[in-house]
């Protein structure tokens, strides 16, 4: 039995992912005047850690398996989170934030791939979209916690505690059957598939997977991330996807900065910034499953829509009508770029073979972090002209949207397990 057909037969179950937002601690250690930069430094170290985690955890999970890398990262994520909450000095706090960033960035990436590989490809759109929706809901939930808990140590402790619960639940998760199958461990993959089938009330179903070409472990998985450079098909896809991911992050945070002009309660505004992304989930599920849209056209359309939102914002900065309010337009653009972010995760997962899927997502996520780092500097270009930041964000969104059209469509296509299958699909 082929692996995709086996998933359709046995049913599905999923996983979950979590994020922990850093807190400001300037007043705790009197970080004022010449020491004020340390407040921003702690946040910068967290985002630097995210970048490191994105780069390192992907190849590790492709080599050693999804489950052990995910559990290890989640365990140290929780431990370092508690160290941040009870840090006796700024130095320990800052280093723990770096560690939390590494573990958080890597664990989030691996958990997403693990979740997708538990289910059949026909469910990837649903599970991928729901994963991103929980992130948006998490922003709103964190805003509520921040409103109710004003002490930063208590807030850090409470927001970190669900991780310990999820770590215990994660011990019940088996290894990814797709990863085992790609490594030649067909019998182990069959056992896990039968376990999933039993959980879905199909105990009598017999699972017999077809081994991949060759014997034993697939040899092309050994080089890992180097294949992204040496393999011509992967190199072309990776270059395009890196730019798309970079623009997604750049425009997302750029529109967020513009939406930051909203007046009113700070906690309510933060909650709205998260909840405005929730509609992206049903939008993505609807469009990417339609043959006339698919993954490629949907991603491109959302990117172009976000780009146009930035361009229109440039012309409507001084206008404050009911339907053409610049802030409303910026939030609409954020919804579009959030939907693009959602879709590109699913799309990228389907463009890479199983043996190198995590490494590919890790490299793309790395450029995503670079976009997030550079985004705050773009608004400073308004010293040249107030329109320049909107031009940068708008052109970036439009160019990424059109460049995305050069990638192949993956809707209703079988999941590629190894590099031989990838090469065959291109011929």
pLDDT digits (tens, 9 = 90+) for 260-317: 455 556 667 667 767 778 888 888 889 998 999 999 999 999 999 999 988 887 776 6
C-beta of residue 274 within 8 angstroms of C-beta of residue 391: no
Residue 382 has a CB neighbour count (10 Å cut-off) of 12
Give the per-residue pLDDT at 396: 94
Picking from 11, 47, 14, the residue whose alpha carbon sits closest to that of residue 113 is 14
> DSSP letters of 326-379?
HHHHHHHHHHHHHHHHHHHHHHHHHHS-GGGHHHHHHHHHHHHHHHHHHGGGGG
Domains and CATH numbers, the chain: 1-217 (1.20.1250.20), 220-427 (1.20.1250.20)
Give the per-residue pLDDT at 217: 47
Q: Token pair 């630097």 is at which residue?
A: 48
Give the per-residue pLDDT at 425: 66
Picking from 125, 112, 124, the residue whose alpha carbon sits closest to that of residue 285 is 125
Give the per-residue pLDDT at 220: 45
262: left (phi over 0), alpha (psi -120 to 50) or beta: beta
Give this prediction's pTM.
Answer: 0.75
Per-residue tens of pLDDT for the chain, all 427 residues: 666 555 455 544 333 333 333 334 545 555 555 666 666 677 778 878 888 988 889 888 988 999 999 999 999 999 999 998 888 888 898 899 899 989 988 998 899 889 988 988 888 888 888 887 887 787 778 778 888 887 878 888 998 898 899 999 999 899 999 899 888 888 898 889 888 888 888 877 788 888 865 444 444 444 467 788 888 889 999 999 999 999 998 888 766 655 545 555 666 766 776 777 888 888 888 999 899 999 999 999 999 999 998 888 777 665 555 556 666 777 788 889 989 988 998 999 899 988 888 888 888 988 888 887 787 777 777 778 777 888 888 999 999 999 999 999 998 888 888 777 777 666 5
3-state SS, residue 418: coil
């Amino acid at each position: 039995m082929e692996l995709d057909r086996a998933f359709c037969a046995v049913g599905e179950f999923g996983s979950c992912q979590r994020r922990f937002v850093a807190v400001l601690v300037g007043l705790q250690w009197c970080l004022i005047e010449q020491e004020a930069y340390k407040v921003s430094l702690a946040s910068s170290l967290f985002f630097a850690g995210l970048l490191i985690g994105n780069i390192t955890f992907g190849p590790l999970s492709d080599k050693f398996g999804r489950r052990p890398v995910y559990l290890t990262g989640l365990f140290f994520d929780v431990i370092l989170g508690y160290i941040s909450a009870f840090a006796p000095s700024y130095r320990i706090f800052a280093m723990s934030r770096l560690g939390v960033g590494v573990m958080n960035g890597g664990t989030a990436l691996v958990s997403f791939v693990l979740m997708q590989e538990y289910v059949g490809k026909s469910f990837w759109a649903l599970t991928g979209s729901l994963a991103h929706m929980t992130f948006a809901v998490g922003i709103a939930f964190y805003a509520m916690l921040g409103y109710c808990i004003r002490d930063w140590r208590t807030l850090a402790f409470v927001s970190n505690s669900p991780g310990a619960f999820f770590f215990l639940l994660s011990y019940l998760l088996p290894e990814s059957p797709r990863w085992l199958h790609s490594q030649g461990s067909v019998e182990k993959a069959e056992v896990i598939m039968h376990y999933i089938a039993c959980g879905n009330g199909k105990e009598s179903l017999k699972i017999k997977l077809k081994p991949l070409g060759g014997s034993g472990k697939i040899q092309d998985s050994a080089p890992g991330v180097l294949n992204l450079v040496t393999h011509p098909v992967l190199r072309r896809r990776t270059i395009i996807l890196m730019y798309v991911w970079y623009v997604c992050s750049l425009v997302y945070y750029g529109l967020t900065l513009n939406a930051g002009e909203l007046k009113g309660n700070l906690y309510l505004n933060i909650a709205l910034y998260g909840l405005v992304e929730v509609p992206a989930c049903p939008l993505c599920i609807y469009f990417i499953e339609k043959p006339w849209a698919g993954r490629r056209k949907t991603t491109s359309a959302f990117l172009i829509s976000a780009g146009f939102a930035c361009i229109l914002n440039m012309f409507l900065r001084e206008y404050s009508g009911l339907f053409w309010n610049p802030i409303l337009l910026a939030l609409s653009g954020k919804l579009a770029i959030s939907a693009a972010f959602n879709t590109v995760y699913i799309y990228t997962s389907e463009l890479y073979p199983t043996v190198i899927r995590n490494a590919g997502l890790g490299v793309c996520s790395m450029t995503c972090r670079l976009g997030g780092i550079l985004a705050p500097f773009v608004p400073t270009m308004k010293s040249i002209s107030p329109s320049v930041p909107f031009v940068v964000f708008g052109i970036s969104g439009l160019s990424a949207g059109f460049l995305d059209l050069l990638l192949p469509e993956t809707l209703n296509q079988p999941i590629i397990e190894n590099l031989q299958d990838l090469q065959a699909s291109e011929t």
